[in-house]
C-alpha cells in the first residue's frame, strides 16, 4: 500500500497514468455522444462503467457518477448519498457531468467531463471561464504557494467571475486529492461506490501524511497550509452559476521544484486551444 511519489516515478509510471486518464476521458466522451432525452443518470453511469470494463479496467477508486441539470451544481446536496447517480432524466438543453475513477494495472485516473444536450450558451461561457483556473492552479503550485492559499485564490477568481464554488460541497470541501499506484492484497471489491483497495491506499496515505502535518486531501483548512507534496494530484475545480455546474478533473504532476499537467491532449484543453492559440505557459 503506497502512492507513487513523483521523484520515484519512472517514465513508464507516468505513461501508465496518462494512458488510463486518456481512456477515462474517451469513455466519458463516447458515452456523452450516446446520451439522449429521457436517459437517467444511473443509465449514463452504467454506460461509462461498461465502456471502461470493456477496455481492461479491473477496479475502481470510485465507480462512475453522472449528474444532470441542477445536480451538476450540487444544488440542495446535504448528504454523501446524494452524489450517487439518480433517476434524474436528461432533457434537451440540460447540462451533465460524467465523473469516473478507474484503476487498471494498479494505475488510477480520476476525471470529470462536462457537457450538455442540444444547445446551452451559458454552459459554454462557464467552460470558457474554467480555463483560467487551470492556469492559476499550476502557476501557484510552481510558485510554492500553500495549498490553502491556492484554494483561496481559486475562490477569489470564482467570485470575480461571478460564479460560486461548488467543489466546497464535496466531502471534506476538497478541490483535489493525491493519487498513485494501488498496491493492496485485499480482494477487489466495491463498497458504497469506492474500491476497497483504493480506500486502503488512501487511508494509509492519510495516516502517513498526518504525521508530517499534511494531508493527501487538498481543501481550505489549516491541514492544507503547506506547499503541494510531490506526487500526483487529481485536481477538480468546480464552478457553478444558478442551476449549471461545470468542472474538469485531471492529474497534476508535482516535483520538488516544478509542476505540470500530466497531459494537455484532453477534451477541455483541445476546446480552449481551438478557440485561440496559446503558449504552453498559458495552459
Per residue in 233-275, pLDDT (tens digit) is: 999 999 999 999 999 999 999 999 999 999 999 999 999 999 8
Per residue in 36-76, pLDDT (tens digit) is: 999 999 999 999 999 999 999 999 989 999 999 999 999 99
Question: What does the alpha-carbon distance between residue 218 and residue 240 come to, in Å, rounded to a whole number?
Answer: 20
Name, in order, each residue with C-beta under 8 angstroms of 238's C-beta and a sequence gap of 6 or more: 112, 165, 166, 167, 170, 175, 245, 246, 247
pLDDT of residue 6: 47
Per residue in 16-29, pLDDT (tens digit) is: 999 999 999 999 99
Structurally, how many domains does the chain consist of?
A: 1
* CA distances in angstroms from 199 to 53, 85, 188, 252, listed in the order given: 20, 20, 11, 20
pLDDT of residue 234: 97
Query: Residue 61: left if φ>0, alpha if ψ -120 to 50, beta else—which one?
Result: alpha
Kindly state whether residue 6 falls inside one of the protein's structural domains.
no
Question: What does the alpha-carbon distance between residue 75 and residue 238 come to, in Å, rounded to a whole number?
Answer: 13
Per residue in 131-140, pLDDT (tens digit) is: 999 999 999 9
Kindly state whether residue 283 falls inside one of the protein's structural domains.
no
- At residue 182, what are phi and psi to the nearest 5 degrees? -90, 115
Per residue in 184-215, pLDDT (tens digit) is: 666 676 765 665 665 655 655 555 555 556 78
Strand-pair category, 259-261 with 111-116: unpaired
Kindly state whether residue 97 falls inside one of the protein's structural domains.
yes
Boundaries of domain holding 219: 11-276
Number of CB atoms found within 10 A of residue 13's CB: 17
Per residue in 68-106, pLDDT (tens digit) is: 999 999 999 998 889 999 999 999 999 999 999 999 999
Q: pTM for the full model?
A: 0.89
Kindly state whether residue 138 falls inside one of the protein's structural domains.
yes
Per residue in 151-186, pLDDT (tens digit) is: 999 999 999 999 999 999 998 899 999 998 887 666
Cell of 69: 441539470
Kindly state whether residue 261 falls inside one of the protein's structural domains.
yes
Kindly state whether residue 282 falls inside one of the protein's structural domains.
no
Q: Domain holding 173: CATH number?
A: 3.90.230.10
Kindly state whether residue 130 falls inside one of the protein's structural domains.
yes
Kindly state whether residue 100 falls inside one of the protein's structural domains.
yes
Cell of 282: 498559458
Amino acid at each position: 500500500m503506497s502512492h507513487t511519489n513523483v521523484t520515484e516515478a519512472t517514465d513508464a509510471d507516468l505513461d501508465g497514468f496518462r494512458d488510463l486518464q486518456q481512456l477515462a476521458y474517451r469513455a466519458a466522451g463516447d458515452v456523452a455522444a450516446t446520451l439522449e432525452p429521457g436517459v437517467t443518470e444511473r443509465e449514463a453511469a452504467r454506460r461509462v462503467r461498461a465502456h471502461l470494463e470493456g477496455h481492461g479496467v479491473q477496479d475502481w477508486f470510485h465507480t462512475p457518477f453522472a449528474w444532470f441539470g441542477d445536480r451538476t451544481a450540487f444544488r440542495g446536496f446535504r448528504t454523501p448519498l446524494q452524489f450517487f447517480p439518480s433517476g434524474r432524466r436528461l432533457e434537451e438543453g440540460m447540462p451533465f457531468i460524467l465523473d469516473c475513477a478507474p484503476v487498471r494495472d494498479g494505475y488510477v485516473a480520476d476525471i470529470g467531463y462536462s457537457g450538455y444536450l442540444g444547445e446551452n450558451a451559458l454552459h459554454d461561457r462557464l467552460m470558457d471561464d474554467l480555463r483560467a483556473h487551470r492556469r492559476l492552479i499550476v502557476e501557484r503550485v510552481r510558485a510554492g504557494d500553500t495549498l490553502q492559499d491556492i484554494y483561496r485564490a481559486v475562490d477569489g477568481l470564482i467570485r470575480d467571475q461571478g460564479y460560486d464554488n461548488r467543489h466546497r460541497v464535496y466531502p471534506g470541501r476538497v478541490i483535489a486529492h493525491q493519487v498513485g499506484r494501488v498496491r493492496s492484497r485485499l480482494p477487489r471489491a466495491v463498497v458504497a461506490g469506492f474500491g476497497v483497495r483504493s480506500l486502503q491506499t488512501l487511508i494509509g496515505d492519510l495516516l502517513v501524511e498526518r504525521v508530517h502535518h499534511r494531508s493527501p486531501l487538498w481543501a481550505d483548512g489549516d491541514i492544507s497550509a503547506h506547499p503541494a507534496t510531490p506526487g500526483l494530484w487529481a485536481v477538480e475545480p468546480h464552478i457553478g452559476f444558478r442551476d449549471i455546474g461545470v468542472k474538469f478533473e485531471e492529474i497534476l504532476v508535482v516535483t520538488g521544484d516544478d509542476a505540470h499537467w500530466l497531459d494537455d491532449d484532453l477534451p477541455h484543453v483541445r476546446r480552449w486551444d481551438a478557440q485561440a492559440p496559446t503558449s504552453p505557459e498559458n495552459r
